[in-house]
Amino acid sequence: MPTLNDLFAQQSDRGLDFTASACGIYADFSKQKIDTAIFEALLNLASERNLSQQIQQLLAGVAVNDTEHRAALHTALRLPKDSALWLDDVNVVEQVHASLDKLANIVERIRSGIWRGYSGQAITDVVNIGVGGSDLGPLMATTALTEWSDTDIRVHFVSNMDGTQLDGLLKILHPKTTLFIISSKSFGTVDTLSNAKTALAWLMASHRNKDTVLRRHFVGISTRSDKMTAWGIHADNQLMLWDWVGGRFSMWSAIGLAIAVKIGMANFRQLLAGAHAMDEHFAKADFRHNLPVILGLLGVWNSTFLGIHAHAVLPYDGRLAFFPNYLTQLEMESNGKSVNRQGQMVDYDTCPILWGDIGSNAQHAFYQLLHQGTQKVSCDFIAPIRRYTDAQKPNANLIEQHRLSLANCLAQSQVLAFGNQALQQSAIIADEQKNFKQYRGDQPSTTLLLDSLSPKTLGSLIALYEHKVFVMSVIWQINPFDQWGVEVGKVMANSVFAALNDPQIPAKFDSSTNALLTIIQHQQSIN
């Protein structure tokens, strides 16, 4: 396989030829280890796997989640109100927009001060209690879009079952003015319900009327109205999901309540509009210029054909701090599979290990491995072209800092691709310690430039990666919508929890687990 230095030497216009753009996103994939013949072969592979037909089935509501016998219709969550999409004789678009209207009503009541706590005071703090997709999506988007907030209401996130996050929050929040959102598709997730139980006890310590506390201080979001009602969530405070919405694809639904509280319903609808624009591009654009298809094919090329088993996501914008975390769930929970749709073990590599961080932080941490380590790693660099507008009245230093960030983004991908040759091209002279300052390069990357980071472009960016994941799954012939590997640990934890709580229950696990249980129980008995 030619090196990236060789590929650029062979094709002088490569930096223009291997590019595509849509929805305010410009993608340069010229630093990927492909040439025209390989790109054509990947496009042919997509045709052989009937990718076009699979895309249409996904968007039409066919039961593409075949192990759970249901559709994966997260794209329906951002369809315009005048659209129609029928599933089991029901127009799901009507259901979606009815839910959005109820969401909008709750958002307006909270943001305007109409929603009051048990004391009659307006809500000042909203705490989203969820885990996985019910936490990562809203947390990521709310952080990214903080500049679009026009409310003094503070939004917080709690996910960890050990209680650390919640304990810290409860010490600074006031029960009279705090509203909790319980986000759980099944309304049975132990992480979420354990935190919700603690939150309820905290409120009850300040106000003994349980019905009032539940009515004024809790909103529930789930597919299970019966479970929300049994827990105590009032019907007016229940927002519904559907089985065809996977947790990691759910931020577009009522799960996005925390986002809408922070940035307002108009901006939340712009987020949906940006995602829908990418859906349309995915459905209609020629594969040669189709961003999700290109990124998906490159992901397969790197992992399966080139044996690159690690992928770093590197946003050069502090507002995207949680975007790499979000993608680790989106990609690894979806495509971390070793069995194809026929139930057979695959004999090829599928999803790589994902990680990442804000570019400037990462440069002072794991970039050492990227530049001089022994591991092959592919990277996505992400940066907005425009950062500060005249309306924000930025000072000159902030504008210069943004340009410095862009310069670092471009420079790092350059050295990763071309190694020492990049330094030579920039007339940087190597010193005598040449053995210690060798940069081999040949690490492939894609650079994604956003016109700017806004609710709409963020929606498009997230949807781009959602569809990238689907493209990869089609090529690998795996189901990206089930998550049996997530469930197995939860099931096992129930029996371990029982043994941990009752020393009289014989521990019938492996010798390691049995010994660890004994140590924990002994130490707890002393304390």
C-alpha distance from residue 60 to each of 92, 155, 249 (Å): 11, 35, 17
Which residue bears the tokens 């006031």? 174
Helices 265-284 and 455-476 pack at an angle, to 10 degrees, of 40
Residue count of the chain, please give it: 527
What is the chain's Cα-based Rg? 25
Please tell me which residue in 276, 333, 371, 468 is annotated as part of the active site. 333
| Contact assessment for residue 185 and residue 253, using Cβ atoms and an 8 Å cutoff | no
Active site residue 102: no
Dump the DSSP string for 321-371.
TTHHHHHHHHHHHHH--SB-TTSPBPSS--PPEEEE--HHHHHTTTHHHHH
The half-sphere exposure of 48 on its side-chain side, counting CA atoms within 13 A, is 10
C-alpha distance from residue 419 to each of 6, 298, 349, 367, 520 (Å): 12, 21, 27, 13, 51
Q: Which of 358, 449, 400, 334 is nearest to 144 (CA)?
A: 358
Q: How far apart are CA 109 and CA 119, in angstroms?
A: 16
Q: How far apart are CA 7 and CA 19, in angstroms?
A: 15
Q: How far apart are CA 300 and CA 73, in angstroms?
A: 24
**First CA to last CA across the chain, in angstroms?**
62
Helices 51-60 and 36-48 pack at an angle, to 10 degrees, of 50
Pairing of strands 178-183, 154-158: unpaired
SS3 category, 43: helix
Active site residue 490: yes
Please tell me which residue in 81, 174, 490, 522 is annotated as part of the active site. 490
In DSSP terms, 240 is beta-bridged to 222
Dihedral of the CA atoms 481, 484, 486, 488 (nearest 10)?
170
Please tell me which residue in 364, 393, 434, 508 is annotated as part of the active site. 364
Q: How many Cβ atoms are within 10 Å of 391's Cβ, its own excluded?
A: 6
| Contact assessment for residue 452 and residue 385, using Cβ atoms and an 8 Å cutoff | yes
CB under 8 Å to 125, separation ≥6 — which residues?
153, 154, 155, 156, 173, 174, 177, 178, 179
Q: Where are the alpha helices (DSSP H) in 131-253?
A: 133-144, 164-170, 190-204, 210-217, 225-231
Kindly state the tokens that stand for 361: 């932080």
Kindly state the tokens that stand for 308: 């690159």
Q: Which of 252, 259, 243, 188 is nearest to 220 (CA)?
A: 188
Catalytic annotation, residues? 333, 364, 490
